[in-house]
Copies of this chain bind each other. A is one copy, B any other.
Amino acid sequence: MRWSEIDTVPCPVAQAMSVIGDAWTMLIVRDALRGSTRFDEFQRSTRASRAVVAERLTRLVHHGVMERKQYEAHPPRHEYQLTARGRALQPVLMVMAHWSETQLPKPTRSTGRRHTTCGHAFAPVVTCSDCGEPVTHETITYDRPRGSAGRA
């Protein structure tokens, strides 16, 4: 199978990767979640080429993760805003950053995240919607057989 066919696979991980399974894309989404909206902000922050940033932003708009909006008429200028679908990526990025902070050997600066509900610095904890307890690799099973991309 070629990567261009990945979105034909009925697996949610494969589907997610067909939209955000590209590292530059994730960095653009990271910046957008922190408030960046302008092409130049994304380009300066990611230090990717303008062509790469333009292509990734177009894909994110195509997939409904961002919206392109005109914010100035003369000359016409546009910015990129996250949609609800895009804002829903916050937990994905948070949990990914937490894995990196706690599991990888290279030091990274802390993301300095704070939960406005309680006002505290925090780590993200993935819990069960039913019992509220943490879910880890050791406390998860799958009802259907493991295996092929077509069945996973």
Interface residues of A (CB under 8 A from B): 1, 3, 6-7, 10-24, 26-27, 30-31, 33-36, 41, 44-48, 64, 82, 85, 87-109, 111-118, 120-133, 135-144, 146-149, 151-152
Interface of A is mostly: mixed
Q: How many copies does the complex hold?
A: 2
Q: Looking at the assembled complex, report how far the CB atom of A129 sits from the nearest CB atom of chain B, in whole angstroms.
A: 4
Q: Bound state CA distance, A21 and B24, in angstroms? A: 9
CB < 8 Å neighbour of A115 from B16, B109, B112, B140 = B140
Q: Bound state CA distance, A135 and B90, in angstroms? A: 9
Which B residues are in CB contact (< 8 Å) with A21?
22-23, 26
